[in-house]
Amino acid sequence: MKTSFALLLFVLSAIAKDSCLECHSALDGNLKTPAVRFKNDIHARAGFQCTDCHGGDRTVDDPEQAMSKAKGFAGHVARTAIPKLCARCHSDAALINKFKPQQRVDQLAQYSTSVHGKRLAAGDESVATCIDCHSVHDIRAVKDALSPVYPLRLPETCGRCHADASHMAGHKLDTTQLAQYRASVHWDALSKGDLSAPTCASCHGNHGATPPQVTSVAAVCGTCHALLEQLYSKSPHQSAFASMGVGSCTVCHSNHEIKKPSIKMLAGEGAVCSQCHDASSAGGSAAVEIAGLISGLSTALDKSDLTLTRARNSGMEVSEAQLRQMEARESLVKARVAVHAFQVAAVKKPVNEGFALAAETQRAGESALKERDTRRVGLGVALVSILLAMTGLWLAIRSLEAKPPESEKSIGR
């Protein structure tokens, strides 16, 4: 009885024993770090141990035995061996399913088609492997805000190599992507908490060369900006740009440093259209006309905005007109979108609708202000007559007080 209990205890302690963790926790530097970090790793939390990746025998204290080749210990993991090491489990649908049903198991397959994967296979160790994006020994769930692949942290993760000139020295790539992206409308939206705005991997794919919906990274804009894509694909630029081999949206908006668009892109110094169309050409004159339409509507809307604001601030009821004004603003948005048909008529339609609405709200504001003036005149007249009546009353009282009453005269005597 006693001996079988001792045996049970021995077996239990052997199962629970983790000599790798114990010994490495007591070492220094690079040998200690894995043991310290591992407690936050999603694999530790799922019950995996050092031996699941490194092999060896964690039930014995003797390092010679614990880390012996005979027990499957592999020692140093070469960078070129990392994707296969991770994929041993991550490509195993049956295993992953037990922990996280519906989790994808195609990371290695996708990675192998990317520039990173192809170059690693050719022996280039400077490209990203699984651990450069996910870290190692403190790998977290991808939805964890502390994970290096969390959308807000990802640009920095890619930038660790792509913005480092010395790391990229042997490659024919510039190192401006991170800085340019950080100056874009997309980072602006993302950093303010709009997680629907793209980060590096939204356009370049998590593991593959491109996201699954598109055949090239350049076509990715349309997956989010669908309406603009539709207009563009029917425009004269679609086939013209395709035969020039210049890309599509990025010709005018760039890829990384996308700025807030404005009519400055259409006309004036530095306009994108003037790169290809001179002022006298059909495209050039269309650009100027479209700019005129949009800025005309914008000015009309600013004017009616001002009138309505003045009316409301002086206490007039203009809520109906303010709703119409919002509709008119919507026409301006539609016009900016319609630019992408690159036809004057397509822009004219929403602009004319906007002009009609702006004229209506301008009239409403003006008549509210006129009514305010009429009311003010009425109020003035009323005030003046009250004042006159009060003055009359005061004068009457004064004249009564000035005359001593008859009775007083007689008593005085």
Q: Which of residues 75-94 bind ligand HEC (CB under 6 A)?
A: 75-77, 79, 82-83, 85-90
63 binds ligand HEC (CB under 6 A): yes
CB of 36 to ligand HEC, least distance (A): 9
CB of 286 to ligand HEC, least distance (A): 4
The angle, 0 to 180 degrees and rounded to 10, between the axes of the packed helices 319-338 and 282-313 is 160
Return the exposure string of 17-39: e unless at least 16 CB atoms fall within 10 Å of the residue's CB, then b: ebbbbebbeeeeeeeeebbeebe
- The residue within the footprint of ligand HEC, chosen from 116, 138, 293, 351 (CB under 6 A), is 116
* Length in residues, the chain: 413
304 binds ligand HEC (CB under 6 A): no
CB of 311 to ligand HEC, least distance (A): 28
198 vs 365 by CB, closer to ligand HEC: 198
153 binds ligand HEC (CB under 6 A): no
Here the tokens at position 307 are 């009138």
261 binds ligand HEC (CB under 6 A): yes
94 vs 402 by CB, closer to ligand HEC: 94
All residues at 6 or more sequence positions from 238 whose CB lies less than 8 Å from its CB, including other chains:
232, 248
46 vs 384 by CB, closer to ligand HEC: 46
Q: Segment near ligand HEC (CB under 6 A), from 216-224, 308-316, 355-363, 375-383?
A: 216-224
Cα–Cα–Cα angle for 61, 62, 66, rounded to 5 degrees: 85
Return the SS3 of 258.
coil
143 vs 409 by CB, closer to ligand HEC: 143
250 binds ligand HEC (CB under 6 A): yes
347 binds ligand HEC (CB under 6 A): no
Count of residues near ligand HEC by CB under 6 A: 145
- The residue within the footprint of ligand HEC, chosen from 8, 11, 14, 115 (CB under 6 A), is 115
All residues at 6 or more sequence positions from 289 whose CB lies less than 8 Å from its CB, including other chains:
344
Q: Which of residues 262-291 bind ligand HEC (CB under 6 A)?
A: 262-263, 265-266, 272-273, 275-277, 281-283, 286-287, 290
Q: What is d(CA 208, CA 210) in angstroms, rounded to the nearest whole number?
A: 5
331 binds ligand HEC (CB under 6 A): no
203 binds ligand HEC (CB under 6 A): yes
Q: What is d(CA 398, CA 109) in angstroms, rounded to the nearest whole number?
A: 105
286 vs 364 by CB, closer to ligand HEC: 286
318 vs 336 by CB, closer to ligand HEC: 336
Q: Is 247 left (phi over 0), alpha (psi -120 to 50) or beta?
A: left
Q: Segment near ligand HEC (CB under 6 A), from 1-9, 119-127, 353-361, 386-394?
A: 119-127
Which long-range contacts (C-beta less than 8 Å, at least 24 apart) are formed by 89-96? none
Return the exposure string of 361-387: e unless at least 16 CB atoms fall within 10 Å of the residue's CB, then b: bbebbeebbeeeeeeeeeeeeeeeeee
Q: What is d(CA 334, CA 33) in angstroms, rounded to the nearest whole number?
A: 56
Q: Which of residues 3-62 bind ligand HEC (CB under 6 A)?
A: 19-21, 23-24, 27, 30-31, 34-35, 38, 42-43, 46, 48, 50-54, 56-58, 61
Cα–Cα–Cα angle for 214, 216, 221, rounded to 5 degrees: 65
Q: What is d(CA 14, CA 31) in angstroms, rounded to the nearest whole number?
A: 23
Q: What is d(CA 274, CA 284) in angstroms, rounded to the nearest whole number?
A: 7
Q: Which of residues 357-396 bind ligand HEC (CB under 6 A)?
A: none
All residues at 6 or more sequence positions from 371 whose CB lies less than 8 Å from its CB, including other chains:
316
111 vs 355 by CB, closer to ligand HEC: 111
What is the x/- site pattern for ligand HEC, positions 162-191, by CB under 6 A? x--------x-xx--xx--x---xx--x--
